[in-house]
Structure 1
Amino acid sequence: MQFGYSEVCLAHDPGSRHPESSDRLRAIRERLKKKHGVAYVEGDPCSLDEIAAVHDRAYIESVESFCADGGGNWDPDTTAVEDTWDAVRYSAGQACWAVDAALSGATGRDTPFSIGRPPGHHAVTDDAMGFCFVNNVAVAAQYALDRDDYDVDRVAIVDWDVHHGNGTQDIFYDREDVFFVSIHEQGLYPGTGDIDETGTGDATGTTMNIPMPAGTDDAGYLAAVDGPIAAALESFDPDLLLVSAGFDAHRHDPISRIRLSTEAYALLADRLRTLADDTDASLAFVLEGGYGLNVLADSVSIVHETFDGRDPIQPDDDEPDDQVVPVLEDVLAAHDLTIDP
């Protein structure tokens, strides 16, 4: 894979005790050192105008000023320093680079994966939260839609971070040209993402939430992709598929209770690659969370290996747990979707 990366993103420092540290990117890079076919590309930083295409301009200007004044605690979880503003612009810029690469034909071993930080999927239209100041994947989706030369009419975003992508949902909740699906742990921060949150007005149905019970394992997530997510993407028929790729649903991540294995991320990536191929959509990945350094690095590495030719190992038991089945049935009903038995 190609990885969008900038050293500038290391300068964002929310504090030595904060889980969203620059060591996350260092761990990923260290694990990828011995992997075949890894390439790094530094995209250009996003302009204020590109960020303001999805965020309130006054809010973005206030973040810039907040950082210029030395930063501090925006809220109890979300902290900035002077260098955070540049890191934010470069993090969003790596996501836009991933869009450029994907829409320019990068596939297979060249599939783009942006590993910027700070992450973005909790940032709403006019506020920062959950470690996030700018919604990188939302900026990238809008960037693709705004570029006349790309001829993109519909973008789908699949968010597999263990936390609900409330910010991405907020930004696109009334939009018919962006389909957003979040598969996340039920009841976890920020407490949003219920099944009945499906969009508003003419955009009803373009938001899908799959809140998984604590303890859900690989089979549950794979059933969600093979069931409601596949049916929805086939119906929506996107030109571009973006993956908000958080790795904190791993069973060894310190801040969640979902039980995914490292191999699950290979399987999820492989299935989404197939769905992108089936809908003739370009595909790109954007890093979100993941706070156990070893499992984060392992999981990103196995996604890379999947695109470098490694066949994922299929699970011995592919039947979802009894607590997951009614969730998927309710999601299908909320979106008036059916799947072949």
Structure 2
Amino acid sequence: MQFGYSEVCLAHDPGSRHPETPDRLRAIRERLKKKHGVEYVEADPCDLDRMAAVHDREYLESVREFCADGGGSWDPDTTAVEETWDAVRHSTGLACWAVDEALEGATGRETPFSIGRPPGHHAVYDDAMGFCFVNNAAVAAQYALDTDEYDVDRVAIVDWDVHHGNGTQDIFYDREDVYFVSIHEQGLYPGTGAIDETGEDAGAGTTMNVPMPAGTDDGEYLAAVEGPIVRALTDFDPDLLLISAGFDAHRHDPISRIRLSTEAYALMADRLRTLAADVDAALAFILEGGYGLDVLADSVAIVHETFDGREPIEPDSDCGENAKSALADVAEAHGYELELESED
């Protein structure tokens, strides 16, 4: 894969006790040293006008000024330093770079993966939260739609971070040209992402939330991807598929109770790659969360390996009753029935 990366993103340092640390990117880079075919690309930083296509301009200017004044705690979870604004611009610029690469035909071993930080999927239209100041995936999706040379009419975003992507949902909730899917742990921060949150007005039916019970494992997540997610996005037929790739649903991540293995990320990447090919959509990955440094690095590496020719290992478990019921409810909320086999 091609990895979008900038040293500037390391300068955003919310403190040694904060889980969203620069060491996240260092750990990924160290792990990828051992892998074949890794290429790093630095992109131009994003300007405020491009961010303002999905965010309130006054809010963005207030973040810029907050950082220029030395930063501090925006809220109890979201902290900035003077260098944070430049890191935000580069993180968002890398997400747009991933869109450029994907829409210009990069596939297979050249599939783009933006590993900027701070992450973005909790940033709503006019506020920061959950470690996020600017919504990288949302800016990138809008950039694809706004760039005439790409002729993109529909974008899909699949967010597999363990936390609900409330910011991305907020930005596109009433839009018919962006289909947002979030698979996340039920009841975890920020407490949004219920099944019945499906969009409104022109966007009715273009938001899919798949809240999974604590303890959900590989087979159950894979059933979600292969079932309601693939069904919905096949019908939507996007021109571009963006993956908001958080890795904090791993069983060894310190802040969640979902039980995914490293292999699960290879499996999900493989299924979504197949979906993109089936609907003739460009495909790009954008880093979100993941706070256990070793498992974050291993999980990013296994996604890379998947695009470098490694065949994922299928899970031993099927879909259990609790997850089966949740997925059936998701399908019903979107107007169709879903048949899944239970474990024997």
Contact 2:224/2:327 (8 A) holds in 1: yes
| CA distance, structure 1, for counterparts of residue 248 and residue 315 of structure 2 | 20
Distance 2:34 2:290 in 1: 21
Provide the rounded CA distance (Å) in 1 between the counterparts of 2:272 and 2:130: 26
Partner of 1:109: 109
| CA distance in 1: counterparts of 2:319 and 2:339, whole angstroms | 16
Alignment partner, residue 247 of structure 2: 247
What's the counterpart of residue 325 of structure 1? Answer: 324
Following superposition, the deviation at residue 337 of structure 1 comes to 2.6
Say if 2:180 and 2:206, in contact at 8 Å, map to a contact too: yes
Within 2, Cα distance between the matches of 1:340 and 1:83? Answer: 50
Equivalent in the alignment of 1:266 = 266
Structural mapping, 1:296-315, within 5 Å: 296-315=296-315
Asked if structure 1 preserves the Cα contact closer than 8 Å seen for 2:219 and 2:316, the reply is no
Q: Which residue matches 1:212? A: 212
Once the two structures are TM-superposed, the CA of residue 201 in structure 1 deviates from its matched residue by 1.1
What's the counterpart of residue 31 of structure 1? Answer: 31
Deviation at 1:339, TM superposition (A): 4.8
SS in 2 for 1:102: helix
Q: 1: CA distance between counterparts of 2:112 and 2:338?
A: 30
Contact 2:327 2:338 in 1 (8 A): no
1:237 equivalent in alignment to 2:237:
yes
For residues 88-128 of structure 1, what are the alpha-carbon distances to aligned partners after superposition, in whole Å with 9 as ceiling and x for unaligned?
00000000000000000000000000000000000000000
1:316 positional shift: 2.1
Partner of 1:248, secondary structure, is coil
Deviation at 1:34, TM superposition (A): 1.4
| Contact 1:231–1:337, Cα closer than 8 Å, also in 2 | no
* Aligned equivalent of 2:92: 92
1:50-89 matched pairs, under 5 angstroms = 50-89=50-89
Task: Give 1:144-223 correspondences, 5 Å limit.
Answer: 144-223=144-223
Aligned residues: 340
Question: RMSD across aligned C-alpha pairs, in angstroms?
Answer: 0.7
CA drift at 1:321: 1.4
Q: CA deviation at 1:340?
A: 6.7
* Amino acid paired to 1:192: T
Identity of aligned residues (%): 80
The answer (yes or no) to whether the contact 1:232–1:337 under 8 Å persists in 2 is: no
* 1:320 partner letter: C
Query: Match of 1:38, as an amino acid?
Result: V
Partners of 1:199 and 1:80 in 2: how far apart? 32
Q: Structure 2 CA distance, aligned partners of 1:41 and 1:321? A: 42
- Could you list the runs of 5+ residues in structure 2 that have no partner in the other structure? none
Give the letter for the 1:32 counterpart.
L
Q: Is the 8 A contact 2:164 2:193 kept in 1?
A: yes
Cross-structure match for 1:129: 129
Secondary structure (helix, strand or coil) at the match of 2:96 reads helix
Moved >6 Å (runs of 4+):
none
2:322 is paired with a residue of what secondary structure?
Answer: coil
Would the aligned equivalents of 2:328 and 2:337 in 1 still touch at CA under 8 Å?
no
The alpha-carbon deviation at position 312 of structure 1 amounts to: 0.3
TM-score, normalised by the number of residues in structure 1: 0.99
Amino acid at match of 1:61: E
1:12 and 1:237 map into 2 onto residues whose CA distance is 37
